[in-house]
Structure 1
Amino acid sequence: MDLVSGIVVYVILWWWVLFMALPVGVRRDDAVQPGNDAGAPKKPMLAIKLVATTLIAAVLWVIIDQIIRSDLISFREMIKDWM
C-alpha cells in the first residue's frame, strides 16, 4: 500500500471507529436545564473516545496493511479473469 492509499484507509477507519465509539457509555442528564436538549449526554467523554479511536484505527490499519502486503486477499487475479 503506498502512502496516499495508506492515509485514505486510515482516515476511513478512524471515522468508522469514531462513529461506533460515540454512543458507548453515554448517559442522559436527568436534571435538564432550560435551553439544553433533553437527549444531550451528561458526560460525553470525547477526549477518551478520540484517543481510543486513534489507537484502535491504528491497530486495524496495521492489520489491513499486513493483509494487503502478504497478498492473502488479492484482487489482481479476479481482474485478470474478467479480462
Structure 2
Amino acid sequence: MASKIFSGLAVYFIFWWITLFLMLPFGVRSQHEDGELIAGTDPGAPVKALMRRKVIWTTIVSSVIYGVAALAYYSGLLNVERLSRLMGASG
C-alpha cells in the first residue's frame, strides 16, 4: 500500500516539475522589453519572475493532468499492455 502512495506521489512530482518548466516563460518581460535596465545585469533578465503565481498555476494544472491520468489508469484505459501495443513493442 505504501509503495502505491509513494509511486503516485513520484508520478505527481514528475507531472508538477514538467508543468513548472512549461509555465516559466509565460508572463515574463525582460528588462530590455520594459526599458528598465539595471546596471550590471543582463538586458534579457526578467523584471518580475512572478514565481508565486506560476507555482500556484503549476499545481492546479498538474493536478488536473494527474487526475486525468489516474482516471485513465484506474478505468483500464491506460495500462502496460495497451501502451506496449501503442509503442509497437507487442510480443
What TM-score, normalized to structure 1? 0.84
The 2-side partners of 1:70 and 1:2 are apart by 16
Alignment of 1:1-83 (within 5 A): 2-29=4-31, 30-76=35-81, 78=84, 82=91
> Following the alignment from structure 1 to structure 2, what is the Cα–Cα distance between the partners of residues 31 and 51?
27
- How many angstroms apart in 2 are the aligned matches of 1:6 and 1:12? 10
Deviates more, 1:24-33 or 1:70-79: 70-79
Q: Which runs of 4+ in 1 moved over 3 A?
A: 76-79
RMSD in angstroms over aligned alpha carbons?
Answer: 2.0
More divergent stretch after superposition (26-35 vs 12-21): 26-35
Gaps of 5+ in 2: none
TM-score, with length taken from structure 2: 0.78
Identity %: 32
Letter in 1 for 2:70: D
Once residues 55 and 29 of structure 2 are traced to their aligned partners in structure 1, the CA distance between those partners, rounded to angstroms, is: 18
Structure 1 distance, partners of 2:59, 2:79, is 27
> In structure 2, what is the Cα distance between the partners aligned to 1:60 and 1:21?
14
* Bigger relative CO (Cα 8 Å, ≥ 6 apart): 1
